[in-house]
Amino acid sequence: MFKKIVASEPVQKMLAAVGCMIISGVCRTNRIALEGLEHIEEIKESGGGIIIMWHKTTLLPVYCCRNRGVSPIVSTSRDGNLMAKISVRMLKGEPVRGSAGKDDGVSALKACLRLVRQNRVISITLDGSKGPARKVYGGAAAILKKTGCPFTACGCAIDNPVVFKNSWDKHSEPRPFGRSSVVFTEPQTLPEGLSDEEANSFLAEAVDAAVRKAEERLK
């Protein structure tokens, strides 16, 4: 009975509103060193594209991209349903339900292609919603190969983060009144002629480079 109540639409909307307040409250108290946010608008103006990142830290990018119409990919689980509502409230973008790159991600991939061709910007965690951590699935590379659209890599670093030790990727988020850094790299396109494995490695290195740059800014 309790699960049904929590899953009901009115309760989900209330939880989403509370979630947005908590995320905004925590992030507003943080000293965030932010770099490259303008690149998202550049990608949108160029005809659409994607933001790539690791799943390990997601709240900071969501907060930094609020009200910019970014469309995130969120899982079809009950938790994903709540995250979709939070994303809609904060990002003001159409969420894509599913996982572009896994066996059940065909519909999500088609939705992503449709949005990119409508000059939209999509946010993709390369290692999906369930991991394993830092294992790159092929959705982002497939979109980039099919559309030739640009991407920006997002890297985050957090000083003394809250670490969810039982999560598959040791998910980390900022504490109130902490320090953090978020970097969006200059837009680039996927080089032509790469195999699927090479393309995934290229994207992983792009995100890792953004993470290293964010970490450097915290020193």
Instruction: Provide the β-strand partners of residue 125.
Output: 53
Q: Where are the alpha helices (DSSP H) in the chain?
A: 2-7, 9-28, 38-45, 59-64, 78-91, 106-116, 139-147, 196-218
Look at 30-34, 107-111, 114-118, 198-202 and tell me which has the smallest mean pLDDT.
Answer: 107-111
| Tens of pLDDT, residues 153-168 | 999 999 999 999 999 9
The more confidently predicted of residues 122 and 11 is 122
Using one digit for the tens of pLDDT, what is the confidence trace for 66-88?
A: 999 999 988 776 666 787 788 88
Q: 54: Cβ–Cβ under 8 A, 6 or more apart, which residues? A: 125, 126, 127, 133, 134, 169, 207, 211
- The CATH classification number of 2-218 equals 3.40.1130
Task: Give pLDDT, residue 151.
Answer: 98
DSSP conformational letter for 143: H
**pLDDT value of position 2:** 54
In terms of phi and psi (left: phi > 0; alpha: psi -120 to 50; beta: otherwise), the region of 133 is: beta
pLDDT score, position 11: 80
Classify burial at 54, counting beta carbons within 10 Å of its beta carbon; exposed 0-12, middle 13-18, buried 19 or more: buried
Summary mean pLDDT of the chain: 89
Give 162's strand partners. Answer: 173
Q: How confident is the model at residue 7 (pLDDT cuts 50, 70, 90)?
A: low
Tens digit of pLDDT for each residue in 103-154? 446 778 888 999 999 999 999 999 988 889 999 998 999 999 999 999 999 9
In the predicted structure, residue 219 carries a pLDDT above the cut 70: yes
